[in-house]
Amino acid sequence: MKGKGFIKLLATLVVIAILGVVVIVGVNKDHAMSARDVKLGLDLAGGVSITYETVKEDPTADELSDTVYKMQRRAEAFSTEAQVYPEGDRRITVAIPDITDADEVLKQLGDAGNIYFVYGMSSKGVANIAYSQDPVSLATSTTLARSLDEIIADGDVVIDGTHITGASADIITNQLGMTENIVRLNLNDEGRTRFASATSYCYGYYGSNSLNNIIAIVYDNEVISAPQVAAVISDGVATISGQRDYDEANILASTIRIGALPLELSVLRYYVESAKLGLDALTTSLIAGLIGFVLIIIFMIAFYRIPGVASALALLFYIELMIICLNVFNVTLTLPGIAGIILSVGMAVDANVIIFTRIREEIGTGKTVRSAIKVGFHKALSAIVDGNVTTIIAAIVLFALGSGTVVGFAQTLAIGVVLSMLTALIVTKFVLGGLFEAGCTKVGLYGTKVEKPAKPFVKHFPKFICISAVCIIVGIVGIFINFGKYDAPFNYGLDFAGGTATSITFDDGIPADAQSTLEKLVLDTVKEKAELSTVESENMITVKTKELSTENRALLTQAIIDKFGVSDENLSTTSVGSTVSGEMKRDAIVAVIVATICMLIYIWIRFRNINFALAAVVALIHDVLVVISLYAIDSAGITVGSTFIACLLTIVGYSINATIVIFDRIRENIAENHNRYTYAEIVNRSITQTFSRSINTSLTTFIAVFFLAVMGATSVREFAIPLIVGIVAGTFSSICLTGGLWYTLQKKLKKEV
């Protein structure tokens, strides 16, 4: 018997050790499947993310697909790790990691207008382009002589971006043996036919210095080149010569590629993060997570003894498996994603707590340890499954309706919940069985729980309602105060308010006059009034303005660098247009409503009693309102941004988990004791029986999130603090409100009470 138990334990330790080696080292020379192989989001790795929207309101699927493909090819010129993907029917996001010169990327990938090759002289004898000379430098420039709309209307466009398949810079040796910097242009079949006809016409004027010999290249309403036609080009491959050096040729080729898109695009938002700031945020978040993880293991072993040891090994197995799954499913890890993993650790503990509490209860009824373990796992199954399914519903809604880092959070949360459920039901059971068979059979090693007299939770339900009402009223008052300060119900962050934010981190501490200097600097540089916020613990000041153009953002960045002597690595920038910010507000409301309805339907089906579902939803609304009250209190210093959606849905999923455990016990007690107790007594007994589980789960999750709030980066802290409030509110509503609500609904419907 003992030998079998030791074999199980040895097998577990070997598997954990093997997975540990994979996580640390990887499976090949490229460190595949290791922690270092996990793909990092731009907020951790640094880089540029730009979201475009098509100017055309109803692009076809083929047009969008072709545009994504061409943007991918263009982005890969900056980094082979670049990603381009569509968002919805009209949007395309470009993410390029490890970029040191963000301004150059924004300049070349930025406001992508369309590109046109036009005749220098209209068929009507009207000039389409004009030359001018600078009186000082005597440099000659070329401009449009009339509007592009007029040129297009007269049919003077030779080809446009839809006809171009590629453009690249090259250095060739001409017939005289001299090197030339050229741009090589590749056209599709239609473009080849049109260009052959146009060059045949223009070549007839070669050597005449006539505009009829010119085919000008117009990008974003500016003439970027006006080459003469020196030959008839019929094979669809043209060369543009005359560039002074290779860099000039490369810029021209890049501009042609930018404009050579099936769809014209406009910038909705962009995000620039330095690798240094991302690394700092990653380091502090991981340290916070490690501290929380160690403390959770210590708590579990101290409180649950031998079962706690089993849960510690299962949690270690879970963390290793989580890292491998991030690689397998190619999940991009973001700061909110790390928060999702840490939160799912707390929820992984929840399943163990439910099981261990059940085991103690069974031992308390007189069962042997072996029998208690078997029955405990069986009775805990339905509560674990139901609780995790509702959290997965929240994650699915987040994934479907969220964007950017919120999607990363949804992915890690969903994977984490599934893995936590499997490790609790399989790994914990396997290890606990091994420990028992190895000789850990004494009751004292598992603990026992004797049923305590039921507390009168139903009796005090009106008092609990009053406490909740006070918290919610405080939030309502805060909303009215905010309307006076911000002309809005909350202090909206950039994602919801729109605009441009530049964060500066000072290596040697924030200078004494930094705020006043920055206010004047912004006003002088971009003629905008700045709103400043300071995070003393991170030596960071964030400058918020109205949405800045790419050019003004570059000007402001350079002015900050010159004034304070900071490097690019100490700067990060986010810009969000008003269209996106408005949509994010709507998405937040829709996401919470959709998730709540889905959970209501699921609980109704599982418990076959609409009153359970209604009571759970009312409690969820309570939790959401309490957390919104925190956001409404401006002194809390927490802005409402993209993580607001993730925070609310996480709280909804977490809170429903605790509620389901209580409802599961109510349902069980009704089936077993309906003839012995009234519904009020059953509710009181059920809450009392699950009380320690509710407190312990909340405590372990609190520990995991607390250190994120204390040590995490600003973006994680703004996520963690509301989560802490949500955990407290969710625990309160699950214990103090849901049972009373269910009982009240049963009574109102005149059922047996």
SS3 annotation, 108-150:
HHCCCCCEEEEECECCCCCECEEEEECCCCCCEEEEECCCHHH
Same domain, 310 and 327: yes
Per-residue pLDDT at 399: 79
Distance CA 484, CA 499 (A): 21
Is the distance from CB of 548 to CB of 500 less than 8 angstroms? Answer: yes
Query: Residue 677: in which H helix or E strand, if any?
Result: none
Distance CA 615, CA 617 (A): 6
Same domain, 561 and 627: no
Q: What residue numbers bound the domain in which 55 lies?
A: 48-107
Which of 211, 228, 260 delimits the end of a domain? 260
487 is a domain residue: no
Residue with tokens 């992915």: 411
CA separation, residue 363 to residues 138, 307, 366, 664, 686 (Å): 96, 13, 5, 20, 18
DSSP state of 425: I
Per-residue pLDDT at 425: 87
Task: Catalogue the long-range contacts made by 296-305 (C-beta closer than 8 Å, 24 or more residues apart).
Answer: 296/345, 296/346, 296/349, 296/700, 296/703, 296/704, 299/699, 299/700, 299/703, 300/349, 300/352, 300/700, 303/696, 304/352, 304/353, 304/356, 304/446, 304/447, 305/444, 305/445, 305/446, 305/447
3-class SS at 665?
Answer: helix
Distance CA 467, CA 340 (A): 30
CA separation, residue 538 to residues 6, 13, 571, 606, 711 (Å): 49, 40, 13, 48, 10
Distance CA 430, CA 418 (A): 18
Residue with tokens 């309102």: 625
The two tokens of residue 92 are: 């395309």
Per-residue pLDDT at 750: 54
Q: Which residues have CB under 8 Å from 336's CB, separation 6+? A: 405, 406, 408, 409, 643, 646, 715, 716, 719
Per-residue pLDDT at 220: 74
What is the CB-side half-sphere exposure of residue 573 using CA atoms within 13 A?
27
Same domain, 603 and 553: no
Per-residue pLDDT at 529: 80
Which of 67, 82, 107 delimits the end of a domain? 107
Is the distance from CB of 425 to CB of 384 less than 8 angstroms? Answer: yes
Is the distance from CB of 350 to CB of 697 less than 8 angstroms? Answer: yes
For residue 638, which of 535, 722, 514 has the smallest C-alpha distance? 722
Query: Residue 488: in which H helix or E strand, if any?
Result: none
Is the distance from CB of 218 to CB of 115 less than 8 angstroms? Answer: yes
Burial class, 80, CB count within 10 angstroms (exposed 0-12 / middle 13-18 / buried 19+)? exposed
Q: Which residues have CB under 8 Å from 183's CB, separation 6+? A: 167, 168, 169, 170, 239, 240, 243, 249, 252, 253, 256
508 is a domain residue: yes
Which of 260, 289, 312 delimits the end of a domain? 260
Distance CA 225, CA 181 (A): 14
For residue 196, which of 236, 148, 223, 143 has the smallest C-alpha distance? 236
CATH of the domain at 30: 1.20.1640.10
Same domain, 280 and 427: yes
Residue with tokens 């074999």: 7
340 is a domain residue: yes
Per-residue pLDDT at 753: 47
Same domain, 606 and 732: yes
Distance CA 409, CA 395 (A): 8
Name the domain count of the chain: 5
CA separation, residue 745 to residues 603, 679, 729 (Å): 16, 11, 22
Same domain, 388 and 405: yes
The two tokens of residue 253 are: 């080729």
Where helices occur in 25-129 by DSSP H, the ranges are 42-45, 61-75, 102-109
Per-residue pLDDT at 506: 84
The two tokens of residue 556 are: 């402001």
Among left, alpha and beta (phi > 0; psi -120 to 50; other), residue 367 is: beta
452 is a domain residue: no
Per-residue pLDDT at 732: 93
3-class SS at 101?
Answer: coil
3-class SS at 262?
Answer: coil
DSSP state of 454: P
266 is a domain residue: no
265 is a domain residue: no
Same domain, 7 and 140: no
Helix (H), strand (E) counts: the chain: 24, 17
Where helices occur in 329-460 by DSSP H, the ranges are 335-364, 369-401, 405-422, 428-437
In this structure, how many other beta carbons lie within 10 angstroms of the beta carbon of residue 356? 31
Same domain, 90 and 219: no
Same domain, 72 and 166: no
488 is a domain residue: no
> Exposed e or buried b for every residue in 201-214, given b needs 16+ CB within 10 A?
bbbebeeeeebbbb
Same domain, 218 and 136: yes
Same domain, 567 and 591: no
CA separation, residue 570 to residues 293, 494, 574 (Å): 30, 20, 14
CATH of the domain at 93: 3.30.70.3400
Same domain, 435 and 466: no
399 is a domain residue: yes
DSSP state of 56: S
Is the distance from CB of 718 to CB of 728 less than 8 angstroms? Answer: no
CATH of the domain at 555: 3.30.70.600
Walk along the chain (753 residues) in steps of 10 and give the mean pLDDT of each run. 82 91 85 83 76 83 78 76 80 78 62 77 89 71 88 90 84 79 89 92 87 89 88 89 84 78 76 69 79 88 91 91 88 75 75 88 88 90 82 80 69 85 89 90 85 88 94 90 79 72 82 84 82 75 79 81 81 68 67 78 81 87 88 70 71 77 87 80 91 85 82 73 87 92 82 50
The two tokens of residue 53 are: 């929207």
Distance CA 233, CA 158 (A): 13
Per-residue pLDDT at 108: 63
